[in-house]
Amino acid sequence: MNQKKTEKKLEELLIMFIYSICILFAKSINSILIFALGIILITYFFKKFKKDYNNEEALVLIMCILMPTSFVSILGTNYGKLPITWFHIITLILLIILVKDRFRVGPSLIIIMLFSIFCVASLFISNNIFNALKQIMTIFIFMLSFFIGEQFVYKCNIKLEKKMKYYYYINIYIFVIMIFIQKIFYENLFVKIGYTEVYANRIVYAAYMSDFSFSNLYVATGALLLLIDFIRNKRISLVRFIIGQFILISGLIAINSRTGLYAFIVIAGLYLIINSIRLNYKSMIIAFIGVITIPFILEIVLELRGGQNLLDSSGRVGSYIEALRIFSQRPLIGIGFGIEQFVTTYNIGVPHNIIVQYLCQMGIIGTTLFISIFIQFYKKVYRYNNEYSWILLMILVGALAIPDIPSSRFLSIIIIMIFIKASENIFKEVKYEK
C-alpha cells in the first residue's frame, strides 16, 4: 500500500515537473502542444481529486497547482499579449460552481460589486482601455479569492488545507529548480530561457514568472512556511528543515532580487522573537543560527548586485514622490487603470509600493474600497491566527516595495488557505458547542 502511494506521488511530481519545464521553455515549444499539456494536467488532477473531494475542492487544488505557471498564457505566450491562463479559467469556473451550489451573499461580494462599479466608471478616464481592462481583470480575479474563501468557511473537507499546503510546497521547490536550470542555461550555455534580465550590475531570474520581485517573494513564502511548520510540527526533523531551507534560500539568492529575502528576514525575525519570549527552544536555536548566517547571506546578495548598498532604494523613493504629486492632482479617483500609462503618459516607473501605486491610479475612493476587503477579511478570520496569517503579513510587507501585488497569484492562494484553515477551527467550535 505504501509503495503504491509513493508511486502515485512520484507520478504527480513527474507530471508537474514536466509541465513546469515545458512552460519554462515555452518560447521554443509549439503553442498547441503547450495548450494540450495544460488540458492533460488539469484532466489528470481533476480525476485524481474527485476520488476524495467535491468539484469545488478539486478545482481549488488545481488552482494551487497551476498558480506558479499562470504568468504564461494557455498557449505558452507572453501574458501581456494574451492575458488568458488556466489559473484564471479554473478560478472563473470555480466561481460559477460556487454561485450555483453554495452561494452566500457576504460582505466580500458587496465590496467586490462596489469596486466593479468604480472600475467601470474609471474606464472613462483611462488612456488605454485595453491596458486598463487587463489590470482591472487581474485585480478583480484577486478580489474574488476573498469571496471564494468565504464559501469554504462553513463547509469543506477538513483535509483540504493540508493537501493545498502539500502542493504549495511542491510547487515552490519545483520553481526553485526551474530557477537553477535557468541560471545554468544562461551563465554556462549562454542560452536565455524564461524571464531573465541583465542589468548594469546584476543578472536576475524569474523562471516563468513575469516579475523578479514576485518570484523572490514567492520563494520566501515557502521559507517562512517551512520555518513555522518546523517550530510547530514535531514531525519535521532538524535535518529535513536545514536541507529544505538551504534549497529555498539558495533559490532566493539565485533569483538575485532583494524584496522577498528582506521581507523574510523581517517577519521571520519577528516570529522567532515572539516565540523565543514564550521559551520555545526551537525558536531560540533558529534565532541563534539566523544571527550568525544572515550577515553572510546579505554579503553574498550585495556582492551579486555589484556591491550595492544594503538599503539602496533603487530609485523607489523618487518614483513615490512623483506618483504622490500626480495623485495630488486627482486625489478622489486617480489617473485610472493601466500600468503602462505611468511610462507612456507620465514618464515615470510604476511606483514599487502598493499603497502609493493605487492611490495614484484609483484615488482615495478606489483605494478605500480595495483596502476595505482586507479589513473585512481581518474581522472575519483574525481570531483564527495560523501559519498563513504570517505568510500574508510577509507578502503585505513585501508589497510595500513591489508594484501591483494582486497580480502575484500566490497572494490569492494564501488568502483562500487562510479561510480554509479558519473553517477547521469553526468546525471544532461548532462540534464543541454541540
Average pLDDT over residues 263-281: 86
Instruction: Output the nine-digit C-alpha cell for 36.
Output: 494540450
How long, in residues, is the chain? Answer: 434
**How sure is the predictor about 49, in pLDDT bands with cuts at 50, 70 and 90?**
very high
Residue 38 burial by CB count (10 A; 0-12/13-18/19+): exposed, middle or buried? buried
Task: Report DSSP letters for 82-117, one per residue.
Answer: S---HHHHHHHHHHHHHHHHH----HHHHHHHHHHH
Of 109-123, 301-315, 333-347, minimum mean pLDDT range: 301-315
The pLDDT, as a whole number, for residue 295 is: 78
Residue 313 DSSP one-character state: -
Judged against a pLDDT cut of 60, whether residue 19 lies above it is answered with yes
67 Cβ contact partners less than 8 Å away, ≥ 6 residues apart: 87, 171, 409, 410, 412, 413
Average pLDDT over residues 252-267: 90
Cell 475542492 sits at which residue?
57
Average pLDDT, the chain: 86
Average pLDDT over residues 155-166: 85
> Helices marked H in 25-159 — which ranges?
31-49, 55-66, 86-102, 107-122, 129-152
Q: How far is the C-alpha of 107 from the C-alpha of 416, rounded, in Å?
A: 16
**How sure is the predictor about 1, in pLDDT bands with cuts at 50, 70 and 90?**
low
The pLDDT, as a whole number, for residue 81 is: 80
Judged against a pLDDT cut of 80, whether residue 102 lies above it is answered with no
Q: How far is the C-alpha of 221 from the C-alpha of 161, rounded, in Å?
A: 16
Host H or E run for residue 354:
helix 354-381
Give the closest residue to 143 by CA, choosing from 167, 123, 118. 118
Question: What are the tens digits of pLDDT across the range 194-211?
Answer: 898 887 678 899 999 988
Amino acid at 416: I
**How sure is the predictor about 12, in pLDDT bands with cuts at 50, 70 and 90?**
very high
150 Cβ contact partners less than 8 Å away, ≥ 6 residues apart: 104, 106, 108, 109, 380, 419
Q: How far is the C-alpha of 429 from the C-alpha of 432, rounded, in Å?
A: 5
Question: What are the tens digits of pLDDT across the range 30-44?
Answer: 999 999 999 999 999
The pLDDT, as a whole number, for residue 22 is: 95
**How sure is the predictor about 344, in pLDDT bands with cuts at 50, 70 and 90?**
confident
Give phi and psi for 197, each to the nearest 5.
-130, 145
Between the CA of residue 150 and those of 58, 337, 420, what are the distances in Å?
A: 17, 27, 8
Instruction: Quote the pTM value.
Output: 0.91
Instruction: Give me the helix-helix angle, 55-66 and 129-152, nearest 10°.
Output: 130
> Helices marked H in 153-258 — which ranges?
160-188, 212-232, 238-255
Judged against a pLDDT cut of 70, whether residue 67 lies above it is answered with yes
**How sure is the predictor about 426, in pLDDT bands with cuts at 50, 70 and 90?**
low
**How sure is the predictor about 306, in pLDDT bands with cuts at 50, 70 and 90?**
low
The pLDDT, as a whole number, for residue 430 is: 42
Judged against a pLDDT cut of 80, whether residue 97 lies above it is answered with yes
Average pLDDT over residues 120-136: 86
Average pLDDT over residues 130-141: 88
The pLDDT, as a whole number, for residue 311 is: 64
Q: Tell me the chain's radius of gyration from C-alpha atoms.
A: 21
Judged against a pLDDT cut of 50, whether residue 432 lies above it is answered with no
- CA trace torsion 352, 355, 361, 363 (10° rounding): -160
Q: What percent of the chain has pLDDT over 90?
A: 45
Instruction: Give me the helix-helix angle, 354-381 and 129-152, nearest 10°.
Output: 20
CB atoms inside a 10 Å sphere around CB 248: 25
Average pLDDT over residues 307-325: 74
- Measured on CA atoms in the order 251, 387, 262, 274, is the torsion positive or negative? negative
The pLDDT, as a whole number, for residue 433 is: 40
- CA trace torsion 422, 85, 97, 58 (10° rounding): -60
Give the closest residue to 406 by CA, choosing from 343, 360, 363, 357. 357
